[in-house]
Amino acid sequence: MRKWVVGALVAACVAAIAGTASAAPKLTNITIQLKWAPQAQFAGYYAALDLGYYKAAGFNVKLLNGGPNIIPEQVVASGQAQFGLDWLPSLLAARDKGTQLVNIAQVFARSGMTQLTWKNSGITTIAGLKGKKVGNWLGGNQYELFAALTKAGIDPNNSKDITIVAQPFSMDLFIKHQVDSASAMTYNELAQVLESGVKMSQINVIKMQDVGTGMLEDGIFATASWLKSPANQTIAEKIIGASLAGWIYCRDHQAACVGFTLKAGPTLPKGHQTWMMNQINELVWPSASAGIGIMNAADFNRTASIAKQFGVIKKAPSGAYRTDLAAAAVAGLKKQGLDVFGKSWKPLNVKVSPGGK
């Protein structure tokens, strides 16, 4: 009963923000392109859909699954979706090539990228990777690591300094000790290692966020041309508000949001999704001082600087993000008494299950 009451309250809040009338309004069709296949990385959007937040705001929302051959920037630029989710460096790269996309809400406040090392290796810092074999997925995923290596005085392109190994989308190279270090997202590959039977006490987790080279990840974006319309700006504000309400709900109801994720598509088992939900919340909460979804200028500038340093973009970006729409959405949520900061949130103690079952 308590969860239902909270859900109903937030739905009512979103409806109030949207200014919906008592009579059922005609819903506007909206499509949001996700970055990847169904997983707790997108739980806030599943929650907003399943709990009726989008509907309360006046929208019939369709969430499109992503995948290895789906580029959210292209989908949105072509008009197949009004909104998309992706990492900020990808958006900057698209803009650098002439595709005018704009980040309108930065949901993840910090990076989930890490480097794993074995405890018995004695490698506890990025500087300790000099002369070692280091795995990374490459293909655009290497920039945070390369920036960290450069910061530590290691040239990632010099084989005398370090050996960079193309890492598959599994952690076998690390588990089998075929590399000294491997890249891992806190919410995915780290869990894969632990689910294989490795204990946390056996490994070191070096976070790019702590090293100072974390780049911003999941954010909501749209095209600059679509956003020129005042009517579309209003739509964007409402979609942001409903989405952020979904993330607030998932902060306080992790188990329920794992359920929403599994309903969207059981591509990963419940145990793995439960770990992911907890770790994703850690990337969102607590939010910046301005509140969830509002871009922090220093974080943006760091991401853009790293992107330019390693050739992701050729020129410094201008107009790549705006905060007014997210700020308006957050202000509306605050007026309804919702906690947009999550300062008291603490991660749960999630037990790893074999194989993530």
User: Is residue 1 over pLDDT 90?
Assistant: no
pLDDT, residue 228, reads 98
Predicted local confidence at residue 7, as pLDDT = 56
pLDDT at 190 over 80: yes
Q: Is the pLDDT reported for residue 342 higher than 50?
A: yes
Higher pLDDT, 18 or 42: 42
pLDDT, the chain, mean = 93
Is 345's pLDDT higher than 90? Answer: yes
pTM for this one? Answer: 0.92
- As a whole number of angstroms, the longest Cα–Cα distance in the chain is 70
- Give the per-residue pLDDT at 21: 40
What pLDDT, in 10s, does the model give residues 111-164? Answer: 999 999 999 999 999 999 999 999 999 988 999 999 999 999 999 999 999 999
Residue 317 to residue 295: CA distance in whole angstroms: 15
Return the percentage of the chain with pLDDT > 90, whole number. Answer: 88
| pLDDT digit string, tens, across residues 294-332 | 999 999 999 999 999 999 999 999 999 999 999 999 999
Residue reference for tokens 């699954």: 65
* Mean pLDDT score, 229-254: 98
- Report how far residue 285's alpha carbon sits from residue 308's, in angstroms, rounded to the nearest whole number: 28
Packed helices 88-96 and 297-309: angle between N→C axes, nearest 10 degrees? 60
Structure tokens belonging to residue 237: 């504000």
* Residues with Cβ within 8 Å of residue 117, at least 6 apart in sequence: 123, 124, 128, 129, 180, 181, 203, 204, 206
178 pLDDT exceeds 60?
yes
Q: Tell me, what's the pLDDT at 25?
A: 77
79: pLDDT strictly greater than 70: yes
The encoded tokens of residue 222 equal 């749209």
